[in-house]
């Protein structure tokens, strides 16, 4: 292992390095351009074509962070995303345990049915959701969006957690029961710490999928719970688009993912593959 | 793992069933209701049978959207899968540079979908975008708001940018699980690079690649936000994918519901294939 590390951290130029460098450049260039625009004034964006900001300004970020009608979008998004993550994990944990440990009537059908909801197109559900939540008086509330996102996040959490739980040997459960633990005590004191990384990954993916979704969150809100994605569209007004502020808003939405990315880097593939890699 | 039969496990999954039933079954039943009824407004409905399905199945607009959708999904699969495998083969296997690549490659996957649209909108614009500006400057006719081919090229490039890393990361996970002994045996046999790929790496990656292909197909099949932000389905209808077409139906309840049901059935079918692949993989691992 140490041998390997030494060999790979010594930087030498070969075919692979060039391929990777080009690919990473392709990935980063559009993001750089957004960052570049967020630090420019609108007149610089529109009147001159510059590869980096000549007239560096943080005014676009200041606009967003001081104007309530802007930053409330981030607050709203964070509220329903966190609500959704907590709800999803709480209901998914016992269910995933049941799927990983027991056979019961209809278990396979149920597991499949959950998967179909992860794959359900939001466009199909947008209008019925709007009617459902309007009829129970939840339209334009955070909880409505949080519950709507449960449609795909609960199945996701169940599948990911089940993938992690099946890696824990069943003997641990049996030993704990013999030692006199109740199911609840065993689950909280012994089992949960064992699958802590799985819970972390499931939480991360619930957070991300709720954070990136726009169609449902936009359909189900109007004023009070309006997410940042919907607020961003207002930068294009009658007198043209406010490109600088739009770019700054975009950069700020990338931050939550970028901040935790290092800690989940080895689990990204596993999470997207529903715990199966 | 040998599981025991325990019907009480139903109590553990009950919360999930209640919650998902609330957010999946009730809306779906609404859609089913609308799809077989007609209305004159005033909340008065009457039975219309399969009329809406009949109309939608003969709707040129829907078939066109479906055609565009399948074309789009096929193109991006044809680009992303080979490119993703190629990238995975070239990734550093361990050490600092491996983490470095993993972190940067994951970045596009974690960007909100509407912001992905925004990024490409500003990147590809002819007046202020790096890509559009450069292409125009070297004399290529490119304007994604005016011309269908440019619009297509832009959303395909955007999807490749957004999701190739996922295929690469999955393929990379498959590659890493190959024991070193396989490579040593290949070395002794003096196998060529191609032979190693064809007879060792590709078969070992097959499982995760199936997941990658199905995930990409399914997610691209319901793509909405990204093309909506960049092109709004235009110019004309040239980039109107299935989901965009469905949302554009507005409050035209009957046809919209019939459309939704058919859309959902297709997804259900692909989900079943996906599920079969997943459970077969679990069996192979002997768990």
Q: Which pLDDT tens digits describe chain B residue by residue (287 residues)? A: 567 888 888 888 888 888 888 888 888 888 888 888 777 666 677 777 777 787 777 778 888 888 899 999 999 999 999 999 999 999 888 888 888 999 999 899 888 888 898 899 888 888 888 888 888 888 788 888 788 888 899 999 999 999 999 999 999 988 888 888 888 888 898 888 888 888 888 888 888 888 888 889 888 988 888 888 888 877 878 888 888 888 887 777 778 888 888 888 888 888 888 888 877 777 776 54
HSE-CB at B71 with a 13 A cutoff on CA atoms is 13
Q: How far apart are CA A217 and CA A141, in angstroms?
A: 10
Q: Is residue B243 part of a domain?
A: yes
Instruction: List chain B residues with CB under 8 Å of A5.
Output: 94-96
A241-253: buried (b, 16+ CB within 10 Å) or exposed (e) per residue?
bbbbbbbbbbbbb
Tell if the CB–CB gap between B107 and A258 is shorter than 8 Å: yes
DSSP class of residue A247 equals H
Total domains in the fold of chain B: 1
- Chain B positions touching A272 (Cβ under 8 A) are 109, 166, 169-170, 215
Q: From the list A29, A131, A158, which residue is nearest B16 (CB)?
A: A158
| A19 chain-B contacts, CB cut-off 8 A | 86-87, 90
Nearest CA in chain A to B213: A273
CATH number at residue B155: 1.10.3720.10
Interface contact B87-A24, CB threshold 8 A: no
Check if B16 contacts A (Cβ < 8 Å): yes
**Chain B environment of A261 (Cβ under 8 Å):** 103, 106-107, 110
* Bridge partners for B37 per DSSP: B47
Q: A8: which chain B residues are within 8 Å (Cβ-Cβ)?
A: 92-98
- Report pLDDT for B1: 56
Helices marked H in A2-101 — which ranges? 2-9, 15-38, 42-47, 59-66, 68-101
pLDDT value at position B168? 93
- ω before B235 within 30° of 0 (cis)? yes
Out of B13, B27, B133, name the one closest to residue A49 (CB). B133
With an 8 Å Cβ cutoff, is B45 touching chain A?
Answer: no
In Å, how far are A153, B145, B222, B260 from B265, measured between CA atoms? 21, 33, 13, 9
With respect to residue B32, please indicate whether it lies within any of the assigned structural domains. no
Q: Torsion over CA of A104, A108, A113 and A118, rounded to 10 degrees?
A: 110
The pLDDT, as a whole number, for residue A6 is 42
Q: Which residue has the tokens 């691992």?
A: B285
Q: Answer whether A226's CB lies under 8 Å from A71's CB.
A: no
* C-alpha distance from residue A232 to each of A196, A243, A253, B159, B163 (Å): 36, 11, 10, 21, 23
**Strands, DSSP E only, in A99-249?**
102-103, 236-237, 240-241
The three-state secondary structure class of B4 is: strand
Share of chain A above pLDDT 90, in %: 21
Please return the burial class of B171, using the count of CB atoms within 10 Å of its CB with bins 0-12, 13-18 and 19+.
buried
Tokens of B84: 């993703």
Residue pairs spanning A and B at CB distance below 8 A = 291
Beta strands per DSSP E along chain A: 102-103, 236-237, 240-241
DSSP β-bridge partners for residue B5: A103
Question: Which of A119, A146, A151, A171 should we substitute to test contact with B (largest number of B Cβ atoms within 10 Å)?
Answer: A119
B208 is in which domain, residue-wise?
60-286
Look at domain A66-272 and name its CATH class: mainly alpha
The whole-model pTM stands at 0.85
CB-CB contact of A76 with A225 (8 Å): yes
The residues spanned by each domain of chain A are 2-38, 66-272
ipTM confidence score: 0.84
**Most A-contacting residue of B2, B9, B10 (CB-CB within 10 A), to test interface:** B9
The single residue listed with the structure tokens 């950069």 is A251
CB contact under 8 A, A214 and B112: yes
CA distance B13 to chain A (A): 4
Which 3 state secondary structure label does DSSP give A150? helix
pLDDT tens for each residue of chain A, 277 residues long: 344 444 444 556 788 889 999 999 999 999 999 998 888 888 787 777 778 888 888 888 988 888 888 888 889 999 999 999 999 999 999 999 999 888 888 888 888 888 888 888 888 888 888 888 888 888 888 999 999 999 889 999 998 999 889 888 888 888 888 888 888 888 888 898 999 888 998 998 899 889 888 888 888 888 888 888 888 877 666 566 788 888 888 899 888 888 888 888 888 888 888 877 6
**How far A270 CA lies from chain B's nearest CA (Å)?**
8
Whether A124 and B264 lie within 8 Å, measured CB to CB: yes
Cβ of B167 under 8 Å from any chain A Cβ?
no
For residues B34-45, one letter each, b for 16 or more C-beta atoms within 10 angstroms of the residue's C-beta and e for the rest, the string is: bbbbeeeeeeee
Q: Does B282 contact A94 at a Cβ distance shorter than 8 Å?
A: no
CA distance A60 to A66: 10
Q: pLDDT digit string (tens) for A136-154?
A: 888 888 999 999 999 889 9
Q: What is the DSSP-derived secondary structure letter of residue B90?
A: H
Residue pair A225/A103 in contact (Cβ under 8 Å)? The answer is no
Whether chain B has a CB inside 8 Å of the CB on A19: the answer is yes
Query: How many other CB atoms are found less than 10 A from the CB of residue A36?
Result: 17
At residue A52, what are phi and psi to the nearest 5 degrees? -145, 160
């Amino acid at each position: 292992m140490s041998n390997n590390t030494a060999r790979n951290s010594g930087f030498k130029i070969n075919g692979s390095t060039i391929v990777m460098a080009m690919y990473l450049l392709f990935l980063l260039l559009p993001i750089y351009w957004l960052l570049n625009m967020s630090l420019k004034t609108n007149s610089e964006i529109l009147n001159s074509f510059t590869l980096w900001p000549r007239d560096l300004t943080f005014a676009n970020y200041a606009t967003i962070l001081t104007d309530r009608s802007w930053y409330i979008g981030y607050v709203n998004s964070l509220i329903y995303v966190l609500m959704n993550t907590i709800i999803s994990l709480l209901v998914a944990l016992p269910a995933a345990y049941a799927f990983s440990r027991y056979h019961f009537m209809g278990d396979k059908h149920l597991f499949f049915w959950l998967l179909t909801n992860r794959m359900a197109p939001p466009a199909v559900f947008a209008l019925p959701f709007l009617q459902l939540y309007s009829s129970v008086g939840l339209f334009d509330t955070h909880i409505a969006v949080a519950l709507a996102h449960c449609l795909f996040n609960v199945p996701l959490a169940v599948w990911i957690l089940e993938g992690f739980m099946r890696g824990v040997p069943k003997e641990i459960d049996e030993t704990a029961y013999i030692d006199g633990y109740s199911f609840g005590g065993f689950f909280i004191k012994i089992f949960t710490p064992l699958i802590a990384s799985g819970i972390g990954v499931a939480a991360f993916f619930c957070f991300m999928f709720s954070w990136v979704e726009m169609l449902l969150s936009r359909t189900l809100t109007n004023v009070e719970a309006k997410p940042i994605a919907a607020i961003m569209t207002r930068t294009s007004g009658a007198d043209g688009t406010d490109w600088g502020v739009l770019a700054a808003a975009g950069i700020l939405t990338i931050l939550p993912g970028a901040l935790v990315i290092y800690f989940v880097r080895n689990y990204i593939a596993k999470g997207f593959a529903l715990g199966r890699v | 793992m040998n599981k025991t039969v325990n019907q009480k496990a139903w109590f553990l999954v009950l919360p999930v069933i209640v919650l998902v039933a609330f957010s999946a079954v009730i809306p779906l039943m609404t859609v089913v209701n609308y799809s077989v009824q007609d209305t004159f407004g005033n909340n008065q409905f009457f039975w219309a049978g399969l009329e809406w399905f009949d109309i939608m199945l003969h709707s040129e607009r829907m078939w066109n959207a479906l055609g565009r959708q399948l074309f789009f999904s096929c193109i991006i699969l044809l680009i992303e899968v080979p490119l993703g495998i190629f990238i995975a083969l070239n990734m550093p296997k361990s050490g600092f540079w491996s983490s470095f690549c993993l972190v940067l490659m994951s970045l596009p996957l974690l960007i909100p979908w509407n912001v992905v649209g925004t990024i490409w909108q500003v990147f590809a614009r002819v007046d202020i975008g790096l890509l559009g500006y450069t292409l125009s400057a070297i004399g290529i006719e490119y304007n994604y708001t005016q011309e269908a081919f440019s619009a297509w090229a832009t959303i395909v490039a955007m999807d490749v940018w957004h999701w190739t890393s996922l295929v690469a990361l999955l393929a990379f996970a498959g590659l890493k699980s190959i024991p070193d002994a396989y490579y040593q045996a290949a070395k002794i046999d003096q196998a060529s690079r191609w032979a190693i790929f064809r007879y060792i790496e590709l078969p070992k990656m097959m499982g995760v690649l199936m997941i990658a292909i199905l995930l990409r197909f399914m997610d691209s099949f319901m793509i909405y936000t990204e093309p909506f932000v960049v092109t709004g389905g235009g110019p004309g209808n040239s980039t109107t994918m299935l989901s965009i077409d469905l949302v554009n139906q507005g409050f035209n309840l009957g046809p919209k519901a019939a459309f939704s049901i058919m859309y959902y059935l297709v997804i259900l079918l692909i989900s079943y294939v996906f599920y079969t692949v997943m459970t077969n993989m679990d069996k192979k691992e002997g768990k």
